[in-house]
Amino acid sequence: MRNRTFWVLAFFGLSIASALAQTGGQRDFSRLNFNVGGGLGIGRGDVGSFVGNSYFGVAGAGMNFSRLFGFNAEYMYYDLGIRPSVSQPQGLQDTTGSLNAISLNGIVRPPLHWGRLGLYGIFGVGFYRRSVTSSTGDVSNAFCQPSWVWWDIQCDFRGRALPGQKLGSFSKDAGGYNYGGGLTYRLRRFHDAKLYVEYRYHKAYHSDVQTIVWPLTVGLRW
């Protein structure tokens, strides 16, 4: 994790240096950038086991240092509704879940274009809150189930939940990172918006189990 953080910080440093090195004159790029989109997320690890594939939405805004480099702050809401084939046999009732993420990302746009097509890379660090709710209630002395790890249920040596624990509302925070890239197609409308298709890898280091999702996004960038 320390190595990844170092490279992200190094990227921001190079981006700022590039911006400061630019000569005066009128810019040939937009100073601000925005994006909004959504799509299908592929769950990995425990997310894949408990939720499977799910839907999400994302929105972001930031600044461009040059035509090649920029950054943005981005919010992502990712649905973590546990699928019935998991919740029913594992004693979960009226279960909901979500992952809320805020990330700071660097954006690199190679000077490669094919007509109105372009590409970019993106990576950064973020804050991730995983939240789950259930109306199951008290689970004292019940046999522990795999999905209960998201409620931080503690078990004894026999595999039974310790007394006084329940499945209700529970949230856990963690830091993490993301990386990915996408293709853009410049439109001749919506203020020169670009349609984009993007793949990202997100990993959050929650203290119980890591939370890993692969969002596949379709949306608009400006």
pLDDT in tens, 87-115: 999 999 999 999 999 999 999 999 877 88
In a domain, 154, yes or no: no
CATH code, domain carrying 51: 2.40.160.20
In a domain, 54, yes or no: yes
Q: What's the confidence (pLDDT) of residue 27?
A: 58
Q: Considering the domain boundaries, does residue 73 fall inside one? A: yes
| Among 134, 52, 40, 130, residue whose Cα is nearest residue 85 | 52
**Percent over 70 (pLDDT), the chain:** 87
Residue 11 lies in a domain: yes
Please tell me the total count of domains within the chain: 1
Domain presence at residue 160 = no
Domain membership of residue 90 (yes or no) is no
* pLDDT, tens digit, 9 for 90 and up, residues 42-53: 999 999 999 999
Q: What is the largest CA-CA distance in the chain?
A: 72
Q: Report if residue 163 sits inside a domain.
A: no
Mean pLDDT of the chain, nearest integer: 89
Could you report the per-residue pLDDT of 188-220, keeping only the tens digit for each? 877 789 999 999 999 999 999 999 999 999 999
Q: Which domain holds residue 192?
A: 2-20+31-84+101-126+170-221
